Every structure is written in C-alpha cells, then in structure tokens.
Chain A
Amino acid sequence: MDLLLPQLFAGLSLGSVLLLAALGLALTFGQMGVINMAHGEFMMAGAYTAFVTQALVGNAGVSLLVALPAGFLVGGVLGLILEATLIRRMYHRPLDTLLVTWGVALLLQQVARDVFGAPNVDVSVPTWLTGAVSIGGLALPKTRLFILAIAIVCVLALAVVLRSTSLGRRIRAVVQNRDLAEASGISSRATDRTTFFIGSGLAGIAGVAVTLLGSTGPNLGMSYIVDAFLVVVVGGIGHIKGTVIAAAALGLMQAFFEFSTTASIAKVLVFVVIIAFLQVRPQGLLVTRTRSLA
C-alpha cells in the first residue's frame, strides 16, 4: 500500500499533464478531424507567454494567474491565424494537413529559437506553490496538485460549453452533419473558427501549466505532441470522456511500468499496450456507432 500510493499519484499527475496537452486536440482532431502537428508549438507559445508575463509583472504568483488567460489567448489567436490561412483550405485533405502543420511547427520552433535563444529559460514557481502537501504520510508537490486542478477545471469548463451553451450545440451539430447544420442556418465557418480557437487556447493553458514542472525551450512542444495524439486515439474520436480516461490510463501505466523498469522501457511498454489495445478496439475506448462506410 505504501508503495502503491506514490505510484498512483505520480500516474495521475502525469495523466493530468497528458490530459491538458491532449484536451485541445480532442476538440480540433477529435471533433473537427484536423490533425494539427503545431499543437505542441501552441503549448510552447503558452509556456513562453508565462515567461514573458513573469518578466513584465515580476511577482511569480500574480504573473501565473495573468499568464493562464494570456496563454489561452496567445494559443487561441495562433490557432485562429492557422485556421484562417491554411487549414480551412484543406478540410478535405486531412493527411496533408498533418504535413502542412508540421511545417508550421518547424517555423514556430525556429522563431522561438531566434527570439528567446536556443537555451532553455525558467519560469519561477510562486511561493504559494512551493513545497508539498502531506496527506497520510505522502508528500504531494503543490505544483502537481495545481496542474491536476487546472486539468479538472478545463475539462469541466469544456464539458459545460459543449453541453449547455448554444456554441456547444452548434459545434456538435457541425461535427455530426456539416451540410445539414449549414442548411439549418448554422454558419459552419464561424463554428470551425471558434472550435479551433478554443482547442488551440487549451494548448496555451497547457503550456503555461508545464512551466511549473520544468524549464521551457523551443523543443517543448515536440516532447508532448506524440503522446497527446496517442491519448486522443486511445480515447476515441469525438469523445472528451474517452480522452480523460485515456490520459489517466496512460499516465498510470507509465508510472507503474517505470516503477518496475526504467522510464524508457516503460515508454516502450506503454506503446506495446496501445497497439494491443487497438487490436481489440481499433476506434478507441468510446465509439460512436454508425452505419456509414467510413
């Protein structure tokens, strides 16, 4: 039991980071079918937003609270620009979108390198997040708990938006039947733009959050993008709930495998499990049953 709890917490903590990285993708890839490889770079932009905010504000505590909405805006605006200039021309070519956004990712990385320099930069953790909370003899770092909280808040907010607002209804209508939605007077262009803004904004928030865990560099996005896509694939397209379960499951698996092997072997083992899992459920955890060919 004493050995189990730390692993459980490490897994959930890792899962919450994965979830933050994947949540925006669940919207843009899961709901819209756009494979945005620059999603990781939107995270990176969020992380640098935290860095810049701190340089401007000074106080680490205040700057974190400012950086979270600012990161959302920066990520969202970048997403809007990408959608308006490139992606909207390519909705019928999903695989090509993948490669085009990869090009965008490379450009953004190099911009970051030229503006902020190749070496990593650090964002200070506010004093109210240093140290750990002790629960039942177990020391839980406050930063990890804070990220877990951000992830939960983001999921709940997204669920509320999708379920209860008119925007959410429009998004779901366009996802389910683009032509019919347009015929009923829903502007699918406006809905696409809004969806992409929110999805990319969530990447920005994720970027701000991960500055609490480590330093920020131009390659930050690259280290998250593959895992984030795997989370969405395992969770099942178009299901936020599936994404949440998948992120927790992959995080826990990684933590428990790591406990008995090494981090790198654990990573490979998790991947083997994913392949095996897709043998059983090729469309992920949650599937929308349809009679269509696709």
Chain B
Amino acid sequence: MSKKHVKVSIYRYNPEVDKKPYYKDYTVELDPLDTKLLNVLMKIKDLHDDSVSFRRSCREGVCGSDAININGRNGLACLTDISSLGRNIILRPIPGLPVIRDLIVDMTQFFNQYHSIKPYVIDDRPQPERERIQSQEDRAQLDGTIECILCACCSTACPSFWWNPDKFLGPAALLQAYRFIADTRDQATNERLDELNDPYRLFRCHTIMNCADVCPKHLNPTRAIGKIKEIMVARAV
C-alpha cells in the first residue's frame, strides 16, 4: 500500500545569511503515527533538513511555544491535525512580530504588553495566616481567562495589534487584564481601569474577533474586552 505524502512549504529566513526570506518545499511521507503537524515538522528536522528552526516543548498544547501560521491561520502545530490541512501546507511565522529565524519570532513586544498590565494580584493588606479565601462563585468569574497559555496566536492575528503593537495591548494582554479586574482578591481594580481608559491600550479593539477565531484553547478575548468596557461604563455613569 502506498504511503500518503504531504508537501510542506516553510518560510525560511536566517538574517545572518539570507538577504530576504524565501519558501522551501519539503515532501514528507506520513506514517500512521504522524497525526499532528508538529510530528511532520519534527520529521522534516530529523530526516530532511536539520537547519529548519521552530520552537516546541510540551507537544500537547500547554506551553504555547509552537504557535505558527498554518495555511494563513494562526494555531499550535502540536494541536493541529495533519488530516485537516490537505496535501499542500504553507507554514509561516506568526505575523506582526520580528522574525529571529525561520518560524521563530521575537516575542519581546508581546510580553512587554503582558507585563504592563501587572499580571499578578495586588493586595497590600496584611498577609493572612493562610491563603486568601475566595468563594466558588467568585472563582468562577475567572473561568475562560486563566486557561490562556500566552501563545500569542490571538494578538498576532489582530490587525489592531499589527498596526500599533507598541501601544495597543492586544487581545492576550487584555484577556489577562480582565482576569485581574475580575479577581475579587485584587485591590487595584480602579488603578487597572484608569490605565486601560486610553484610546490605544484598550480602545484600538474594533471587535474584529480574529482573536476568538484562532485561539487554540477556545477562549474569547473579545468577550473579556467587552466586559472591561461594561465595568468602565458602570463606573462612569
């Protein structure tokens, strides 16, 4: 029985050698165990071309390091079924961030925005003897936010983040901003809302919803952004 093959075109760019990026094609023979795109990428690196560069770690959608643009759509290579992609696969780095090499991008801008929302509970009251207690209802407010793995699939699919990556927080950071606004243990809600009441940081979101469309964890940053706006309106009117 003849084995299945896929043609994989990979964006290649090594700034130390190449003047400009180019695509290189690899024809890969699929084994029955090659179920995910990451299997195919590993096979290309092992058997075809060990210079192909990409990030990967946990290979099960937890670390978020293998976010790439797959046939024009952001996703995690380890969660993407190879059977869903057809015979011709085009792989590019996630858009909007500087390319370090091949499919590896510089995430500094993305994490700068994440750090700027102060992603930790702020509570200057005296430390309790044990942990700060939270009711189950209050904890349920955080569902749909804490599952984010910061893979950057959403932010780099957002046109507003492409145009203003230094000023617009992007959906991933805004989802986390909402996570700490919604956290009843946090005592800095007003300061957080003050920092977000800015025409760029929050209000560059035009509800395009690419973020919710591509999130590999099926989260909805647009809804979280809407909830931040609701809280702001409730505070202002």
Chain A complexes with chain B = no
